[in-house]
Amino acid sequence: MRKVILPVVIALFMFASCVSAPRYGVRDGVERIGIISAMSNEMKLLLDNADIDHVDRVGGFEFNVGKLKGKDVVIVKAGVGKVLSAAAAATLANNYRVVYAIFTGIAGGVGDKTNVLDVVVASELVQHDYGTMTRNEGFIWWPTENADDNGFYQCDYKLADIACESATEIMGSSRVFRGRIATGDQFIASESYVRELQDKFDALACEMEGAAVASVCKQYNIPIVVIRCMSDKADGLARESISNMGDIAADNSSRIVMRMLDKM
């Protein structure tokens, strides 16, 4: 009799575990705002002002779970580049009930419009380095597969409105822009390539994570906005400019996020 009962008990236990398992592995069921940055300095001010209840370590990422400006949040540093940022966004979506996503950080200004410490709130994003390298025609850009027909990822319009309003209150209207941000796995420090990004995509800023995170959020139906404060002009002086202005730009972007939370 024991030989019969034991397999039945094990089967019932496994069935109950499957039934009770939360969708997407949600850890606590609390609706949270997910805040993602690439680097430590981009999230330092947020963590300094947050009431962090605990830190979950999943897939090599640290998810800081708690409250910021009275809102339930989970804050994560993704790392630099499209692969790490997409992995962090997917892990975030699979482990928490994320109702909105905000990416905050620094970027390089593209073209004549944006200067150092200006802010760009993304209306849409594009992966500028996705395509084919040909023998005779050089690089030919392709729209990414899960983007819209024109190859762009749209940010949530209402979130972008709140971000622009918040940025204007923090920085002043003359320093706030709304438009396209170009994402690629290169640190851009080239005047000629900046001009290409401007001419080909009408981009206002370039960085290394935003479109990848927007791609994941689209897959999970999570509204997203990307906020970038310019640390440099993506030209030959980019690295020197980041050394001098990167932390200031990162803090400005974080202040905008906190003002957004006051309004949400």
The β-bridge relationship of strands 224-232 and 138-141 is unpaired
- 178, burial (CB in 10 Å: exposed 0-12, middle 13-18, buried 19+): middle
The active-site residue, picked from 118, 207, 209, 232, is: 232
Q: Is 56 a catalytic residue?
A: no
Q: Is 42 a catalytic residue?
A: yes
The active-site residue, picked from 42, 207, 209, 251, is: 42
Q: Give catalytic residue positions.
A: 42, 232
